[in-house]
Structure 1
Amino acid sequence: MEFAFVSLLLMFLIYGIAAFGILLSTKNSLTHAAAEGARSALSVSDLPVATADARRIDQVKTTIAKDLAWMGSNYNASYVNAAIANCSTIDTTQCVTVTITYPWSTKPLIPPAPGMGLVTPNNLTATAVVRIS
């Protein structure tokens, strides 16, 4: 009888360790993809200036899609927000800001155990900023 209670607690503990490991791994992958996506904007030439920003954002989204391909159908391009704007109000240098927001509460990569939704985040967010010029 005691073994039944202890084994249930042990199974729940092992599941919790695995679930938080996958959650942490996903957060790390999102952070890496955001950083790689922002850096990839540097590979686009500035000429012609009129289309450079649009090409940079396309490059960012393509790089992120490649980095997060392991997520399969759980990845959606709408999770990515990339914008090019002035880095500060003081000067005119341009920065690309990449934000990835993954809806963990609606698309968890591992099925939630009862009560686990109380301690897991609704969204996983990663942001990266790179100065272009």
Structure 2
Amino acid sequence: MIACATNSSCDAKRPARSKQRGAAAVEFAIAFPLFFLVLYAIVTFCMIFLVQHSLTAASADGARAALVYVNAQDTGTALSGRAQAACARALQGVTWLATAPTCTTVVSAQPSGCTNNTAMDCIQVTLSYPWSTKPLVPTLPMLGAWQPTVLAGRATVQIDPVNLL
């Protein structure tokens, strides 16, 4: 151990790392916002993709529900009954969302029918979630511009008119 008579002579013999005191805190203060921003972006995009996938899966489930037979007297009543059942089933698949998405159905009956097969009747189920007004992750200031305003899932089912009634 070296005994120093004055502080100035001891400073010359101290290791250089004592002069680096606080450098780690400064580096952390610079790096932390960048790491936090990356982590926030990952969590936000994961939530956006989760909601998007849930809406798509629920609308596909609703479209499959439109295939279930509905007892009706005419084609229009049968198609509207199937469309209502499709929306009801689709909304059951996204009950975990804080705000229920809106469900819309488009019924395309003959003779125009579906776009790829005009001889069939189609029911298209669309679920829309207003992400800009009800995000699941709080939006940081000035970072909401790159987030979507509305998330939507859409599915279409073709129904053979012979099997409709």
TM-score (norm 1): 0.88
The residue aligned with 2:61 is 36
What's the secondary structure of 1:69's corresponding residue?
Answer: coil
Q: CA deviation at 1:42?
A: 0.2
Q: 1:13 to 1:91 in 2, by over 3 A?
A: closer
Q: Equivalent of 1:60, from 86, 89, 92?
A: 86
- Worse-matched range after superposition: 35-44 or 115-124: 115-124
What's the secondary structure of 2:135's corresponding residue?
Answer: coil
Q: Aligned partners of 2:143, 2:50: CA distance in 1, in Å?
A: 17
After superposition, the C-alpha distances for 1:20-64 in whole angstroms (9 at most, x for unaligned) are 100000000000011111111001336422521221122111101
The residue aligned with 1:18 is 43
The residue aligned with 1:81 is 104
Q: Aligned partners of 2:54, 2:118: CA distance in 1, in Å?
A: 32
1:99-118 matched pairs, under 5 angstroms? 99-118=126-145
Q: Aligned partners of 1:34, 1:21: CA distance in 2, in Å?
A: 20
Q: Aligned partners of 2:31, 2:44: CA distance in 1, in Å?
A: 20
Extract unaligned runs of 5+ from structure 1. none
Q: Relative contact order (alpha carbons < 8 A, sep ≥ 6): 1 or 2 greater?
A: 1
Q: 8 Å contact 1:44–1:55 — kept in the other structure? A: no
Of all paired residues, the percent bearing the same amino acid is 32
What's the secondary structure of 1:95's corresponding residue?
Answer: strand
Would you tell me which structure has more helix in proportion to its own residues?
Answer: 1
The residue aligned with 1:92 is 119
Extract unaligned runs of 5+ from structure 2. 1-25, 161-165
TM-score (norm 2): 0.72
